[in-house]
Structure 1
Amino acid sequence: MKKIITGILVILFLTTTQAQQEIVSEPVTVEIGSLHKIQSSILNEERNLLIHLPNDYKNSEKKYPVIYVLDGDNHFQHTSNASTLLAENERMPESIIVAIPNNQGTRNRDLARERDKFKQYIKDEVIPFVEKNYRTTNHKTIFGHSMAGAFVLNYLATESSLFDNYIAASPVIQILDSELHGKFNELFKTEKALNKSLYFTLADEAAEGERATNALKKFVEILKNEAPKSLDWKYNFIENQVHMTTPYLTMYEGLSKVFADYQSPRYSSYEDFKNRGGLNALKTYYSHRADKYQTSKEIPNRTLRRVAYVLLDDGQTDMAINLFEENIKKYPQSAIAHKALGDAYEENNEIKKALKAHQTAVNLSKEQNSPDTNYFSRQLIRVQTKLKN
């Protein structure tokens, strides 16, 4: 069974008369995702899943990583918002969000008393359902807060192969700290090539409590002293927050951290670019990224332009022009790519070539009904004026 999950925004319309100003509100529905009901034979009950798809899911054939979110009724919307914003800015890949809500009265049972059964439910029923019904890669992330954060850590300690990334906000581990610490000690003795990412947080002791703070400090010491180098982990102390507000910052920062190897490299100067291997190293980076995330091996349009502008600003004009021209070959229908090439030609005082590139940018933007057409047109007029003078 599938239902559409929506959020309601209230838009205020102001109507002004000479005598008064009337405020009229009108609700606007925004689709967040869909609700699916599945019958669990492991838990012997019906459970819900909330699923958010990337914006281009229906118009593409791509496969996507999946982020599984515990306490899903609390964290579905902000996770969807965070992942969308981060993906739009190349901080993480577009991803499918699968939120796992709690049934009434089952949270303590699932996350503590019968957590092994709940782990089996996720492994043997939730993940197969998602992978059967959606285009997914093999890359999976799990997030939990408080008791669910401790559940996430327990998952890493006992079944580290299931997920690639583990994110825990204010994990409450003092109840099972000795057991959990022992499991990690054993894991680190037997697994020297984890190749996983872990990000976890805590607020100050006044907000979290002495026992939770001490238990997490002990866990951090275990990681410092015993974790293999292949485990990419980070603990972040969050100031000026309380236990119930840490999930929002943790989700945003955590996704940024665990997907750091997806993010486009940035360079401060030509020297920086050269010292880090130049174009060959950049191509290798995207080849490795493609293997891990099943994305294109091509260097993205935005990245090539950004690098070329760094070279242009640093006086490497010929090299920048070559890179802009290579970008045009890869992305011939990109108006912004042609505009960028025009900028480089202009910098090199090749005004006629600049004019042609800007004209192409304008033509493409008009054909594509781009909202940036006026911007490209202004750039063209500016270069035309420069040529006349």
Structure 2
Amino acid sequence: MKINIKYYLLILLISISKLFAQTVPTDIIMGKAYEIQSDYLENTSLNIQVSTPENYNNTEDLYPVLYILDGQWFFPHALSIRADFTQRNGPMHTPEFIVVGITTSNDNRWDWGRENASLFLKTIEFNIIKFIDDNYRTSDERILFGWETTGGFVIQTLSQNPKLFSAYIAASPAPLYGDYFKNLENEYLSLKTFLKNNVELNTFLFIGEGEVDYPVFYGTKTLKRLLNDEAPKGLNWHHKVINESTHEMCAYRTLQDGLKEYYRYFHYLTFNSKAEFERLGALNYIEKFYEKRQTQLSLTNDDESKHATRRNITFVAISENEYKWFDSLFTIFENDGFLEKSFAPHLIDYAQFYLKHKNPEQAKKILSFAIGKYPDNAQVLNALGDLYSLRGEINDAKKYYEKAIELGNKNNDWRVPEYIYNLKKL
């Protein structure tokens, strides 16, 4: 047989070209980089990185700006937090925002954060912020974040220009006056005077420190005492010790927790435990939270978020197997349209919890409502089978299990094996 060499060479070349086409790398674009000349720091230009949010090019909206000091380390982390808070499934934890990372290399960060802090602050205000505002669609809302030396700079910025930013987030701020930095007493007294003289101060401050954060904790201890004694009512300040966090790792959690606290009314209220629910003030706390949320976000109707909070609490009760608490909550919420606002899986969980605690009548009431609202839901039919099985009404149980299997097969329901197992148990 005669072999066509040209033909096989052609096939080989096509295969190789396809292989390379599949493996050619593409760049991952995180944003844009700029070099900004400082008008205040002599012979100095600053490198900044800018990333706009996912929907920036699809709207004409104005966006808050998060300014990240030590951007060479924390700019990518800020993008990750933004994706987590604004792009994952479910309600957003914060609005979308622009991220600006300001590079402060080891050669410069102490000088800019301490000796030449006033010149660095002017550079940020009149060079960097002006550039961002001139070239991007920004709102008046700005957030400043720094760690360690730049965290100390964040505290200085608050006292020197409190209206420049809406929120100040300082991770492991240093150096601060205390048992370790006694030479900074004048700086401490200056901050004390500032707090006393600015009774109309209206801004947000979040201070994070690691559980093992030597020697930072000496300064934060003094700062916390000062804020407790002198902070005006308008300064919404928070201090948090981050468990199992070292000095080096504190920045990451502080930025995340600080943003979530600053935007705490943006997301609907959730609780992690009954203890937290009771500690914060139980149902009265929920009422006050939504009053503040509606005011801050200018909402006229917030029923959907209120229902989400009620759903959250009831599932906390279920997860902790707190039947009496669950029943009291459900009774209160039921009178305010709780069943009507609930989806089928949630109604089933409520009914199953009542069945677990030997209250089939309440379970039947919920499932009767559920089957009326969701007549073609196989999971509801299966739950009705569970109800009649518990009551010893085998024929009715069998009927509903069979209906669940039939409807489940029709709708490619992945729970069909569960329905079949329940039928066999009879």
TM-score, normalised to structure 2, is 0.63
State the 1:128 CA deviation.
1.8
State the 1:247 CA deviation.
0.8
State the 1:77 CA deviation.
0.6
User: How do 1:83-102 residues align onto structure 2 when only pairs under 5 Å count?
Assistant: 83-87=82-86, 88=88, 90-102=92-104
Distance 2:255 2:131 in 1: 24
Q: Deviations over 1:175-209 (max 9, x none)?
A: 6632331122111211113222211133356x523
Distance change in 2, residues 1:307/1:234 (3 Å): closer
User: How do 1:1-389 residues align onto structure 2 when only pairs under 5 Å count?
Assistant: 29-43=27-41, 44-87=43-86, 88=88, 90-102=92-104, 105-174=107-176, 177-203=184-210, 207-209=213-215, 212-266=216-270, 275=284, 282=290, 284-291=291-298, 299=302, 303=305, 306-307=308-309, 309=311, 314-315=330-331, 316-317=333-334, 319-320=336-337, 324=341, 347-349=367-369, 351=371, 353-355=373-375
Q: Deviations over 1:315-356 (max 9, x none)?
A: 55563369639xxxxxxxxxxx89989999984536454348
SS of equivalent to 2:188: helix
Distance 2:59 2:44 in 1: 35
Report if the CA contact (8 A) 2:269-2:309 is conserved. no
SS of equivalent to 1:233: strand
SS of equivalent to 2:31: strand
Report if the CA contact (8 A) 1:72-1:102 is conserved. yes
SS of equivalent to 1:264: coil
SS of equivalent to 2:233: coil
Report if the CA contact (8 A) 1:144-1:168 is conserved. yes
Q: Deviations over 1:148-175 (max 9, x none)?
A: 0110010112211111211111111246
Distance change in 2, residues 1:250/1:27 (3 Å): farther
Give the number of the structure whose residues are more often strand, by fraction.
1
SS of equivalent to 1:306: helix
SS of equivalent to 1:203: strand
Distance change in 2, residues 1:249/1:186 (3 Å): same
Q: Deviations over 1:201-256 (max 9, x none)?
A: 33356x523xx433332222211222123222222233443322211121112222
State the 1:91 CA deviation.
2.9
Distance 1:222 1:318 in 2: 47
One-letter amino acid of the structure 1 residue matched with residue 374 of structure 2: A
State the 1:130 CA deviation.
1.6
Tell me what 2:356 maps to. Answer: none
Contiguous gaps of at least 5 residues in structure 2: 1-22, 315-325, 351-364, 379-407, 420-426
SS of equivalent to 1:238: strand
State the 1:73 CA deviation.
1.0
Report if the CA contact (8 A) 2:171-2:207 is conserved. yes
Distance 2:194 2:257 in 1: 26
Report if the CA contact (8 A) 1:286-1:298 is conserved. no
Distance change in 2, residues 1:349/1:256 (3 Å): closer
Contiguous gaps of at least 5 residues in structure 1: 1-24, 326-336, 359-373
Distance 1:113 1:157 in 2: 16
State the 1:46 CA deviation.
3.1
Report if the CA contact (8 A) 2:339-2:347 is conserved. no
**What percent of counterpart residues are identical?**
23
SS of equivalent to 2:67: strand
Task: Output the aligned Cα RMSD.
Answer: 4.1
Distance 2:370 2:263 in 1: 41
Distance 1:94 1:300 in 2: 23
One-letter amino acid of the structure 2 residue matched with residue 179 of structure 1: N
Which has the higher Rg, Structure 1 or Structure 2? 2
Report if the CA contact (8 A) 1:289-1:297 is conserved. no
Query: Structure 1 segments of 4 or more deviating over 4 A?
Result: 25-29, 271-278, 307-313, 315-318, 337-348, 355-358
Report if the CA contact (8 A) 1:342-1:354 is conserved. no
SS of equivalent to 2:45: strand
Distance 1:262 1:100 in 2: 27
Report if the CA contact (8 A) 1:79-1:97 is conserved. yes
State the 1:298 CA deviation.
5.4
Distance 1:193 1:134 in 2: 31
Distance change in 2, residues 1:320/1:222 (3 Å): same
Paired positions, count: 322
Give the number of the structure whose residues are more often helix, by fraction.
2
Report if the CA contact (8 A) 2:37-2:46 is conserved. yes
State the structure with bigger RCO (CA 8 A, min sep 6), 1 or 2.
1
Distance change in 2, residues 1:260/1:225 (3 Å): same
Report if the CA contact (8 A) 1:72-1:101 is conserved. yes
State the 1:104 CA deviation.
7.5
